[in-house]
Amino acid sequence: MQVTQYQMARHPVGPPTTDDFAAAPVDLGSRPASAVRVKLNALSLDPYIRMRMAGRYIADNLKPGDPITSEAICTVIESNTSALPPGSTVATMVPWQAVADVDPARCRPVNLGDMPVRYGLGVLGMPGLTAYAGVTRLLKPGPDDVIVVSAASGPVGATVGQLCKAAGARVIGIAGGAEKCAWVKDVARFDDCIDYRQEDLATGLARLCPEGPTGYFDNVGGQMLRTVLGKLRPGGRIVLCGIIADYNEPEVAAGPTSMEIMGARAHIMGLIVFDHEDLRPEWERVGAEMIRAGTLVTREEIVSGLAAAPAAFARLMRGENQGKVLVEV
Ligand SMILES: NC(=O)c1ccc[n+]([C@@H]2O[C@H](COP(=O)([O-])OP(=O)(O)OC[C@H]3O[C@@H](n4cnc5c(N)ncnc54)[C@H](OP(=O)(O)O)[C@@H]3O)[C@@H](O)[C@H]2O)c1
């Protein structure tokens, strides 16, 4: 059986373009007895893939000619593993190709009840779990807090803000563009949202919270982190979740200085979602309850067919995505 595999053609320079990807025919042959064969239903596009394309991620870095891999929701079509019979729905890392052979030990059965199964890649999957772990285990917001969240319309940021609202905090988003800010305020019901493309961020923060935020959930890093740190209330908490400002840059930029951190008496916490896998069943239950109750909304950008994945990923890495980016296969 032949499939079309999408590979990294070369290391991107700056924001990725479709020329950084190549489509190649791959012969799958027959399935190794130790593997299960899966058919992809929905593929997740996530910013960390850009770090792997740069060779700077914590694992699974890519070199030219390697298949791009992502988490996907798949249907098992061939298997010798009794726990994963044909027809099972699983989440697993797969190369960007319609059918793949994968290690059954790396397949996670997905059963989200009445929720759409694709939510297992977004609001009820890795990005949602990142938000839930970061908020409940690190940020721990309460009614006295004013929390700022960057990349506020994305799957992590939007979930963070809504969880902080549910905990009684006042929540201010940061997002790029009037349309994203309107969604963050009107649909995700943040208290406010600063359009950093229209208004100087420091001015916006001073306007909306003159006493400074008590917490910042940082999805962006770079200058945005330094600006919010400069406005933080003394002793405020910062959860470092992402540095997307750096992903397209040739190297990771220097962060805030020790002096800036000391000046803010800041408590800075690093978040890696893999440390919080134990929370997944709880989040699937709590998140689904919030969705049913209307207190958690999500936004998705769904493109059709693997051939559309490179362009959709390039849009994500230019900040042009409208929520969680998924490829329906
Ligand atoms: N620590 C962990 O374990 C963990 C787990 C999952 C995700 N993350 C990180 O969390 C962050 C959010 O992830 P997500 O999946 O929810 O994605 P996302 O918010 O949809 O990420 C894309 C958004 O980032 C914003 N952005 C800001 N500066 C950018 C720049 N220089 N280039 C491109 N985009 C920029 C853009 O929104 P605006 O236009 O609104 O700024 C863009 O739409 C990412 O940094 C991701 O790597 C970390």
User: pLDDT digits over 87-117, tens only?
Assistant: 999 999 999 999 999 999 999 999 999 999 9
C-alpha to C-alpha distance for 187 and 185, rounded to whole angstroms: 6
Pocket probe mutation, ligand 1, options 123, 181, 219, 279, max atoms within 8 Å of Cβ: 219
Exposure pattern of 31-50 as b/e (b: 16+ CB <10 Å)?
Answer: beeebbbbebbbbbbbbbbb
Residue type for position 255: G
Residue 300: burial class (beta carbons within 10 Å; 0-12, 13-18, 19+): middle
pTM: 0.97
| Contact 175 CB / ligand 1 (< 6 Å) | yes
Question: What is the pLDDT at residue 162?
Answer: 98
Write out pLDDT tens, residues 266-291: 999 999 999 999 999 999 999 999 99
Contacts of 41 (CB under 8 A, 6+ apart): 72, 73, 74, 75, 89, 117, 118, 328, 329
Write out pLDDT tens, residues 186-225: 999 999 999 999 999 999 999 999 999 999 999 999 999 9
Q: What is the mean pLDDT of residues 298-304?
A: 98
CA 217 – ligand 1 centroid, Å: 12
CA 245 – ligand 1 centroid, Å: 8
- Under DSSP, the state recorded for 139 is I
Q: What is the mean pLDDT of residues 286-297?
A: 98
Q: What distance, in Å, lies between the first and last C-alpha atoms of the chain?
A: 17
Question: What is the pLDDT at residue 183?
Answer: 98
Residue 254 confidence class, pLDDT cut points 50, 70, 90: confident
Mean pLDDT of the chain: 97
pLDDT at 59 over 90: no
- DSSP E strands: which ranges in the chain? 2-8, 21-27, 36-45, 69-78, 89-95, 99-102, 108-109, 146-149, 170-175, 192-195, 215-218, 237-240, 267-270, 300-304, 324-328
Write out pLDDT tens, residues 35-51: 999 999 999 999 999 99
| Contact 271 CB / ligand 1 (< 6 Å) | yes
Nearest CA to ligand 1 atom 9: 242
Nearest CA to ligand 1 atom 36: 319
Closest ligand 1 atom, CA of 176?
A: 39
Question: What is the pLDDT at residue 133?
Answer: 99
Question: What is the pLDDT at residue 106?
Answer: 97
CA 156 – ligand 1 centroid, Å: 8
CA 158 – ligand 1 centroid, Å: 11
CA 151 – ligand 1 centroid, Å: 6
pLDDT at 297 over 90: yes
C-alpha to C-alpha distance for 235 and 116, rounded to whole angstroms: 41
Question: What is the pLDDT at residue 110?
Answer: 97
Nearest CA to ligand 1 atom 24: 151
pLDDT at 52 over 90: yes
